[in-house]
Structure 1
Amino acid sequence: MRPLRVMLPVLSLLLVLPLHAQDLATTCHVSSSYDLTVVPAYLLFDRASPAPQRVRLQDGVLRVDGRTVPLSAGERVRLARFERLLRALVPRVKAVADHGVDVAVQTVRSQAASLGLDTATRVELDQRLAADAVSLKQRIAASYSTHDWHGAVAEQYEQELASDIVPLIVADLGRQALTAAMGGDLQRAAELRDRAAALATDGPALLRQRMNVLRPQVAALCPDIRQLATLQQGLPAGDGRMLDLLQVTDAGAP
């Protein structure tokens, strides 16, 4: 058995699914090619390419790739409304993410229970999962940029979760398998292998299924997210371009 390989798909979903609060592009039919950073002074949308690469919004002032874009009084009011609405969405998205952490941890806990771990291991696992949930929620609370959850950062945190949880399960399953083998109970050893394999196969799908409980909360965000797309329409971004921070598909068009 390879318990690390078994648990990583579940741990990966534990990290990724809650933090994205499901797929807003799919649920709300709104997407963006930009990363977003929200700080008290301004909002920053940025991407590597194409231009514009940096769009900064600050109290009705729009700066695109370092240049201030002239706006009419009405356009400044609309841009300021965009900023206020987006800021108001941040704690709501984080609340969904926190709920997702709870759902994911409970799913991992129930899946681990199916392995038949001994009582002491289950108690320790519960404590570690609870601590990891607190840590993840703290990271969510402290995060104000989508950059915080990209590639290497997400992979590093996934490995941190794995290094905290997997060795505990490895040790328990190893003891059980050794005991079974030494006692000549090859059927028991096979059952342990099958349980681990089932976790690897069924765990991620089960977690995705249970994450559906978040769908109503995510859907409740959609009207305001689509309102953001409406507010940006017609706002100039300089060089003859229009502001295009969010894209709405036909299915989600207001």
Structure 2
Amino acid sequence: MRLRLLFASLILATALPVLHAQDLGDTCHASSSYDLTVKPDSLLFDRAQPAPFHVQVADGVLSTDGQPVRLHAEAQDRLVLFERELRALVPRVRAVADSGVDLAVRAVHEEAAGMQLAPATLAELDRRLAAHATQLKQRIAQSNSTHDWQGDAAQQLADRIVGDLAPLVAADLGQQALAAAMNGDLAEAARLRDEAADLTTQLQPRLQRRMQALRPQVQALCPSIQRLADLQQGVRGADGQPLNLVRVGP
């Protein structure tokens, strides 16, 4: 099940892997088998299987796999509201994603500061963090499709950022370990070497705890997700089956 629906994937990919706990699927119990692309004049839902593979919603007009679907008046009204409210949700999700970036930057900075890194190292770390944050926010602002974050794209992005930051911190810890060894403090030297070697493993749980501060912002989206699931009720595709573009529940 891939909850890359309704821009949940933006939140997942925003601040390295530490935001996975804030997934809308976990927090709002929402899921979908579709990917979503928001266009100026329509919403496009697509999936590999089963049919319908493509669902288009445009100002109360519904088509599935390229075939127009006749709707009664109530269903058409529901569809109009569904599209309107989903579009209204987009900037809210982007705002949460931006907050996630800011929170992650602060969390990484505070964790690094607690390691007593050299001022030059901390300054360079902050510079790189700021650059990555800017790029992430630009990507969030420009993305209109969950396909942009599909498959390994989010993990590859996270790996690239970690690959840029972790060696910088590890090198500083290594220098601290060398200095401690030269001063005869072998226990401290060993501790610092272990900390450098296990940097990512040790750091991620602490970052995850810090990122829980984002949870209330994610929870605030849940009623809107539920509203979308409710609005689609009574709207059926060409095969007479419910659309099920959004599912909420266990």
Bucket of the pairwise TM-score, normalised by the shorter protein: 0.7 to 0.9
Whether the aligned pair in 2 keeps the contact of 1:28 and 1:219 (CA below 8 Å) is yes
Task: List, as ranges, runs of 4+ consecutive aligned residues in structure 1 with deviation greater than 6 Å.
Answer: none
Greater Cα offset, 123-132 or 207-216 = 207-216
What's the offset of the Cα at 1:199?
4.4
Tell me whether 1:206 sits opposite 2:214 in the alignment. no
TM-score of the aligned structures, taking structure 2 as reference length: 0.85
Please list every run of 5 or more consecutive structure 1 residues that lacks an aligned counterpart in the other structure. 1-11
What's the offset of the Cα at 1:212?
2.0
Partner of 1:218: 218
What's the offset of the Cα at 1:183?
5.2
Whether the aligned pair in 1 keeps the contact of 2:226 and 2:248 (CA below 8 Å) is yes
Partner of 1:29: 29
The aligned amino acid for 1:172 is D
- In structure 2, the CA distance between the partners of 1:38 and 1:44, relative to structure 1 (3 Å rule), is same
- In structure 2, the CA distance between the partners of 1:217 and 1:56, relative to structure 1 (3 Å rule), is same
Greater Cα offset, 26-35 or 52-61 = 26-35
Please list every run of 5 or more consecutive structure 2 residues that lacks an aligned counterpart in the other structure. 1-12
What's the offset of the Cα at 1:224?
1.6
- Between the aligned partners of 1:218 and 1:14, the Cα distance in structure 2 is 14
Partner of 1:79: 79
The aligned amino acid for 1:97 is A
Tell me whether 1:192 sits opposite 2:192 in the alignment. yes
- In structure 2, the CA distance between the partners of 1:237 and 1:22, relative to structure 1 (3 Å rule), is same
The aligned amino acid for 1:121 is T
What's the offset of the Cα at 1:161?
1.0
- In structure 2, the CA distance between the partners of 1:33 and 1:140, relative to structure 1 (3 Å rule), is same
State the structure with bigger RCO (CA 8 A, min sep 6), 1 or 2. Answer: 1
What's the offset of the Cα at 1:232?
0.4
Greater Cα offset, 86-95 or 199-208 = 199-208
- Between the aligned partners of 2:101 and 2:132, the Cα distance in structure 1 is 10
- Between the aligned partners of 1:127 and 1:173, the Cα distance in structure 2 is 19
Whether the aligned pair in 2 keeps the contact of 1:13 and 1:204 (CA below 8 Å) is no
Partner of 2:167: 167
Whether the aligned pair in 1 keeps the contact of 2:170 and 2:197 (CA below 8 Å) is no
Whether the aligned pair in 1 keeps the contact of 2:30 and 2:247 (CA below 8 Å) is yes
What's the offset of the Cα at 1:211?
2.0
Partner of 1:9: none
TM-score of the aligned structures, taking structure 1 as reference length: 0.84
What's the offset of the Cα at 1:112?
2.2
- Between the aligned partners of 1:172 and 1:196, the Cα distance in structure 2 is 9
Whether the aligned pair in 1 keeps the contact of 2:17 and 2:155 (CA below 8 Å) is no
Within 5 Å, give how 1:76-155 maps onto structure 2.
Answer: 76-155=76-155
- In structure 2, the CA distance between the partners of 1:44 and 1:17, relative to structure 1 (3 Å rule), is farther
What's the offset of the Cα at 1:198?
6.6
Alignment partner of 1:33: what SS?
A: coil
- Between the aligned partners of 2:199 and 2:14, the Cα distance in structure 1 is 13
- Between the aligned partners of 1:91 and 1:184, the Cα distance in structure 2 is 56
What's the offset of the Cα at 1:180?
4.0
RMSD of aligned residue pairs (Cα, Å): 2.3
